[in-house]
Amino acid sequence: MTSIHSPSYPTVVNPGSPIADRPTVLAEFVVGVDNVIFSVDTLENRLLVLLVNRRQDPFAGYWSLPGTLVRQGESLEAAAYRTLSEKIRVKNLYLEQLYTFGGPDRDPRESSTAYGTRYLSVSYFALVRYEDAELICPPESGTTPQRIRWFSMEQIPDLAFDHRRIVQYGQRRLCSKLEYSPVAFEVLPDTFTLNDLYQLYSTVLGENFSDYSNFRARLLKLGILQDTGEKITRGAGRPASLYRFDPDAFAPLKDKPLLFV
């Protein structure tokens, strides 16, 4: 992220012991987890991100990433899963740590108390299957305004805190994940057509990432897809073969510099 030439370091008068040596100068932290939860609506070719509407200050009324503070005895990853499970029910998902945003002044609550607590956000990146992602606070809850919903990446509103930056960072990660790893299969149904896969890729990576026929040839040559023999008809047109991802065939390719694009 950062690259410097000839930096001028701050002079350290007393490096001292890192543990409780000068406890008054240490920052006090509250650690939260924020999730960038992506999904792909392949029917409408939209890349979606899940946002929640804040009820409290700061940023009451703003949309933000679903997050939580980490509890005693809870790992960061567990906190990420918990937040996710509080907002959405899914069968398949992929989750990994994204980045840690912890500079001072990223949360207005810090400035309210002099020498106040620092809010550190460990962000997680998730990809869920849109078809079976069930929002726990549904859109139709009487007259109260919608508190959780999917936003298309094209129409993300102003977000609370530095969450817009986190979303952008997440999108970059999503693109490279698709290119270098088989995440897509975590999020597709068990069996899928090559067109389903292609739609997923082109929705995330943009229209001009590859020609369908070349994409098809490359994927089949990799040998990581089993043809189930079954076919599916969707509207008019020739029925499509249903494939299944073969983890055993993929295993030896793991960590190899293979491209799905």
- Work out how close the CB of 117 gets to a second copy at its nearest, in angstroms, rounded to a whole number: 10
Q: Which two tokens stand for residue 255?
A: 């960590």
Which segment (29-37, 38-46, 158-166, 192-200) binds a second copy by CB under 8 A? 29-37
Pairing of strands 29-41, 118-128: parallel
Q: Is 138 in the site for a second copy (CB under 8 A)?
A: no
Q: Is 251 in the site for a second copy (CB under 8 A)?
A: no
The beta-carbon contacts of 5-11 under 8 Å, at least 24 apart in sequence, are: none
Ranges within 179-218 binding a second copy (CB under 8 A):
179, 183, 186
Query: Which of a second copy, DNA, none does 165 bind, CB closer than 5 to 8 A by kind?
Result: none
Q: Residue 72 burial by CB count (10 A; 0-12/13-18/19+): exposed, middle or buried? A: exposed
* Residues contributing to the site for DNA (CB under 7 A): 193-195, 210-214, 216-218, 220-221, 231, 233-241, 259
The beta-carbon contacts of 81-87 under 8 Å, at least 24 apart in sequence, are: 83/33, 83/35, 84/35, 84/37, 84/126, 86/136, 87/37, 87/50, 87/52, 87/135, 87/136, 87/137, 87/148
Judged by CB under 8 A, the residue of 43, 103, 142, 237 near a second copy is 103
Query: Which of DNA, a second copy, none does 15 bind, CB closer than 5 to 8 A by kind?
Result: a second copy
Cβ atoms 50, 66 nearer than 8 A: yes
Residue ranges in contact with a second copy by CB under 8 A: 1-7, 9-10, 12, 15, 17-19, 25-27, 29-32, 55-56, 67-78, 81-82, 84-86, 91-97, 99-100, 102-104, 115, 118, 120, 122, 179, 183, 186, 257, 259
